[in-house]
Amino acid sequence: MPPAQPTDDDSPVQEARLWQGNGWTARVIKNEDDDGWAVAMIKDGEPEPALVGPWTMGRDKKNPKPLDLPAFHTLVKTANEVLRRHEQQLHAQLHKQVLVNDEAGAIKVLLDIVPDEDDAYAVLSAYDSDGEQLAQVRVAPDFKLNASSAANWIAGGYRRP
């Protein structure tokens, strides 16, 4: 009996319906909504796919087209872009800013929401045109920051709204 060949556990998987590499797994799956196929892109260490999209049928019009290197690279690029957009959207939801002009000049007011399952809150802060912090208070995470609420906070002496 020949000796067992050592296996390289870090080598990428490159099969017709499963590719792994670059921190991602592409898995061709049966589309539950119709007779077609879909591809799921799962980032290493994540439980859910970052991207699920339609996949091309093969020449027999029954089975999926096999994954290949160019398709895998395109899928990785697309999945990374989806994650980047999600991160940008989350950042935009958690960090807001407005500029308010008063007699002292332009004041930048920031609202930074700190998500926490047990004790979510937000920090409202004001900065002058030189970047010096003028005030900072803790507020409710659902505080609505807009030009009017910022101007009222400034006019009220930066007291907790």
- Give residue 4's pLDDT: 45
Burial of 137 (0-12, 13-18, 19+ CB in 10 A): middle
Report the candidate in 139, 87, 86, 133 with the shortest Cα–Cα distance to residue 111: 139
- Give residue 75's pLDDT: 96
CA dihedral 121→125→131→132, nearest 10 degrees, is -120
Could you report the average pLDDT of every consecutive run of 10 residues in the chain (161 residues)? Answer: 48 88 94 87 96 91 92 96 95 94 90 91 95 96 95 93 89
Report the candidate in 136, 141, 137 with the shortest Cα–Cα distance to residue 120: 141
Which pTM was predicted? Answer: 0.69
- Give residue 2's pLDDT: 46
- Give residue 62's pLDDT: 87
- Give residue 31's pLDDT: 85
